[in-house]
Structure 1
């Protein structure tokens, strides 16, 4: 028998064990961006009605009661326990929805999304309020949200799901495969082709939905389409649908029984607010589905079923698990080479002289940035910062530190970005704390911003700093290094010495007479304590 559920689940668990961290992250990306795993998403973001509790759970609870307990008492105690679970869950969700940041762009998006319950329409409403002050007609927002939602689903979410299936197909035998392969459809530039395939699939599903019973049956007929497209994204939607129907012929009821066997996991996932799904069930279920695809794929190739010649990725066939990555160079669709518009060597070992000049360059840029923001917002020039000169040392220090501390990680762009956020957060929080303790004054206050910590740092600011540091490491600093290298060494030291002398003079003066005043340190006067929702 080809459809052995016990063997499929056992193999799925083994594959999950070998690729656990990678699979959890990939499934979480699909959940958050692609909108997959609806059970987990609903459990996380919706206050669902109490689920039907399985009979074995009820019996286990009853068995724990004393034998002398009456049946009515047992039922009452059990129902009370279930209600307590949902009461805690609903209270938690209510508190989450009551969280209302009051300042910043992220606050606009967070409040609109949480109030509307929909990411697309909430985001458009936020853009409307930010850009047009709410003057846009609601009808435009609704239709624009609908259109964007459809396009996002077809050309981002669905295709991201194909990338997820690609990761699972490759990793079941090549455990060294990187999770970046989730971007496989985008890398080989088949977004439009795959999007059109899913348009055809959605049209078929819609038409079958009109027949009621046909929608249920055809769901399993088309079950393998994402996997087929993940193996060979060069085929049309019509070919993928026809091949899925052929491969699932005689196996639809078996697939239905496999899904029903996960019912206990669905219930447990709901009771755990979706955490079971994130950390185990979602990747485990996808592992099992991947094994089903490989079994039916092997059957189709062996029996030479119509369309089986399209299943031509021979690198998926080996049965032995190896620690290497999937041999991308052997795939029949090559990844196009990216154009190199600007060749920059970011792996630079910056000399001390140039680091000093870089410090003052970004300290000045930071000062210009802060002054410009206040000038645009209030129409008033304000000399921002603790010092009196045209520099904000926190910007210069952050830039130099990420160049020095993160040099070993420059080859990993994503890790560098998050480490830059961490470094900037520590610097900004530490500086704010020091100034507050020394002068009992705040030079900045993020109270009211989304996810701020004691008003000293906030998510919005840290993301901006992270993006800025990323640009500094991989683009701006290497260009400045190239510029400074043309300076005569002696002239460079003269400039650096002059700047350091002026900076130290300013630093000593500001130690006794710090730069204060309106627009600089007057946060206390206009901060409403009731609106301070910073996290501790």
Structure 2
């Protein structure tokens, strides 16, 4: 049974953002920059537009007015194609090795911010904790979502919601194996995908207002508000369905890591399932602060 409500998550997010306003704004700004800057008009998109231009007016300019040879035109187009390819490769490399780990760090910032005033240093979390695991897991998350999107738009959207909790899981358990991260995210989002979609949809007017104001409202309110609400969603779902609640000696997941070092939860007192699995707390655990009163605050409008 789902206990969280949209109103409850949003109210909690507003209170948290107000309590640590400027740091949430800065974190949301960094997220917006890394999400949009890499694929801005200055990158491959611009090169693509230039290439399109050479197909009509450009060809007339080459062959008609100036009388440039077809060989020179073909060479010019080839150079543009090579530049576009290089830009795409660079964009992919930056996305895989820089942006995705930063996204995990940003998710950690907003998750931690629910329970205490988070510090900006949380954004670099993945670079210091199981960086390779974060890179690999986030890469395959993006790859699987892309491949599902090739079938049709809707399967891609469904999968993006199914994998939605992976960055939060890596933020809390950085050495969680990729397979376990996917499995856990599926379990957490089972029955919650549509509700999460409606939650996102409820921000549409805010994003329209942000567009009308040239992004100012988005920068100083909407983006921090949205990101904090998303973190509150993860927090609420993991209260109802503990991350390790479904693990036991009989499960394949348990057998996969039983007898090994175990994941490290970056907190003070992980739950009993995590303790049984050998998790080592080495930091502040937001989960410890989840009290019945906290749950009540989430579910109230």
Q: TM above 0.5, one fold?
A: yes
The change in CA–CA distance for 1:275 and 1:204 in structure 2 (over 3 A counts) is same
Map 1:279-298 → 2, pairs under 5 A: 279-298=220-239
261, 271, 283: which one aligns with 1:330: 283
Aligned length: 234
Aligned to 2:214: 273
The change in CA–CA distance for 1:279 and 1:173 in structure 2 (over 3 A counts) is same
For residue 240 of structure 1, report the CA deviation from its aligned partner: 1.1
The change in CA–CA distance for 1:301 and 1:313 in structure 2 (over 3 A counts) is farther
Write the deviation string for residues 177-216 of structure 1: whole angstroms up to 9, x where unpaired.
321221111123x332211112211221122113323222
Q: Does 1:263 align with 2:204?
A: yes
The change in CA–CA distance for 1:137 and 1:214 in structure 2 (over 3 A counts) is closer
Write the deviation string for residues 334-381 of structure 1: whole angstroms up to 9, x where unpaired.
xxxxxxxxxxxxxxxxxxxxxxxxxxxxxxxxxxxxxxxxxxxxxxxx
Q: How much is the aligned-residue C-alpha RMSD, in angstroms?
A: 3.3
Asked if the contact 2:267/2:283 (under 8 Å) is kept, the reply is no
139, 154, 157: which one aligns with 2:96: 154
In 2, the alpha carbon distance for the partners of 1:311 and 1:301 equals: 16
Asked if the contact 2:174/2:264 (under 8 Å) is kept, the reply is no
Asked if the contact 2:44/2:87 (under 8 Å) is kept, the reply is no
Asked if the contact 2:169/2:181 (under 8 Å) is kept, the reply is yes
Q: Does 1:10 align with 2:11?
A: yes
In 1, the alpha carbon distance for the partners of 2:116 and 2:27 equals: 16
The change in CA–CA distance for 1:302 and 1:150 in structure 2 (over 3 A counts) is closer
Map 1:137-148 → 2, pairs under 5 A: 137-148=79-90
In 2, the alpha carbon distance for the partners of 1:295 and 1:317 equals: 17
Q: Does 1:20 align with 2:21?
A: yes
- What residue ranges of structure 1 are gaps of 5+ in the alignment? 47-112, 122-133, 319-327, 333-536
For residue 311 of structure 1, report the CA deviation from its aligned partner: 8.7
Asked if the contact 2:105/2:122 (under 8 Å) is kept, the reply is yes
Write the deviation string for residues 301-347 of structure 1: whole angstroms up to 9, x where unpaired.
288124699694444989xxxxxxxxx95369xxxxxxxxxxxxxxx
Aligned to 1:424: none
The change in CA–CA distance for 1:317 and 1:273 in structure 2 (over 3 A counts) is farther
For residue 140 of structure 1, report the CA deviation from its aligned partner: 3.1
Q: What's the TM-score, normalizing by structure 1?
A: 0.40
The change in CA–CA distance for 1:142 and 1:302 in structure 2 (over 3 A counts) is closer
Map 1:396-407 → 2, pairs under 5 A: none
Q: Does 1:224 align with 2:165?
A: yes
Aligned to 2:134: 194
Q: Does 1:169 align with 2:93?
A: no
For residue 3 of structure 1, report the CA deviation from its aligned partner: 2.5
In 2, the alpha carbon distance for the partners of 1:161 and 1:282 equals: 14
In 2, the alpha carbon distance for the partners of 1:316 and 1:283 equals: 28
For residue 10 of structure 1, report the CA deviation from its aligned partner: 0.4
The change in CA–CA distance for 1:316 and 1:245 in structure 2 (over 3 A counts) is farther
Write the deviation string for residues 395-419 of structure 1: whole angstroms up to 9, x where unpaired.
xxxxxxxxxxxxxxxxxxxxxxxxx
For residue 157 of structure 1, report the CA deviation from its aligned partner: 1.0
For residue 164 of structure 1, report the CA deviation from its aligned partner: 0.6
Q: What's the TM-score, normalizing by structure 2?
A: 0.69
SS of 2:170's equivalent? helix
Higher RCO (C-alpha 8 Å, min separation 6): 2
- What residue ranges of structure 2 are gaps of 5+ in the alignment? 51-75, 248-252, 255-261, 272-280, 286-301
